[in-house]
Amino acid sequence: DGTKVYTTLTAITLMVFYVFALQCVSTVAIVRRETGGWKWPVFQWLYMGALAWVLAFVTYQGGRLLGWQ
């Protein structure tokens, strides 16, 4: 019916999240194989997920402060 599903700000926020989030499971598997354990792959996944979430949050809230909808 042509109604918008996402606002421009939401789309930008999603793009920021996906740029920084670790999405490739094969990358986690390679890091596990290269390091010989799960410590660094888990750290990498948690760190990149938290970083992506924080940056997406800052992007969204910053956009709202600037008056974007």
Query: pLDDT of 35-58, one tens digit each?
Result: 999 999 999 999 999 999 999 999
CA angle 26, 11, 43 (to 5 degrees): 35
**Contacts of residue 49, Cβ cutoff 8 Å, sequence gap at least 6:** 21, 22
Token code pair at residue 11: 């789309």
Domain segments of the chain as ranges: 21-63
How many other CB atoms sit within 10 Å of the CB of residue 41? 19
Whether the pLDDT of residue 69 is over 90: the answer is no
Whether the pLDDT of residue 14 is over 90: the answer is yes
Percent of the chain scoring above 70 in pLDDT = 100
